[in-house]
Amino acid sequence: MKIQAPVPNIETTTVLPSPKFSDSQSPQNEVDVKQSMNGTLYSYVKSNARHQLRYDLTLSRMKALELRAFIQSYYRAKIRLTNHLGEVWDGYLTSNPFEFNGAARGVTTITLEFEGILVQPVSPSQCE
């Protein structure tokens, strides 16, 4: 997994290990239900390209310090995230506060929440 900032003029790149199996992705859709005066229900769905991504990471102490410095420098900037699947996303970190938890000696865990737009999907591999 790789995070880069700021977009579009990238200055810093941080490479992180792949997340645990509990990563998730959810589209940011909105459903609005209205009732007319005669009792008929109408539902409206507003969809957009934004998705919310969540990654649980286990990092070494030095990698956690590197990530903390990256977050302190770019937490308000637009970030490019390349996940472990090869997808490229542009968006913002939405975790607040960023909690680094010491899981074991020299090991730190953090949950990163990211909201963004898919820029480049995974391209299928070519079979010969």
| Per-residue pLDDT tens over the stretch 62-118 | 998 999 999 999 989 999 999 888 889 999 998 888 888 887 788 888 888 899 998
The closest alpha carbon to 56, from 114, 14, 97, 7, belongs to 114
The domain limits of the chain are: 2-25+51-120
Model's pTM, two decimal places? Answer: 0.73
Average pLDDT over the chain, rounded to an integer: 85
In contact, 53 and 117? CB cutoff 8 Å:
no
Cβ distance 24 to 62 under 8 Å? no
CATH 2.40.30 assigned to 2-25+51-120: yes
What does the pLDDT average to over 46-52? Answer: 80
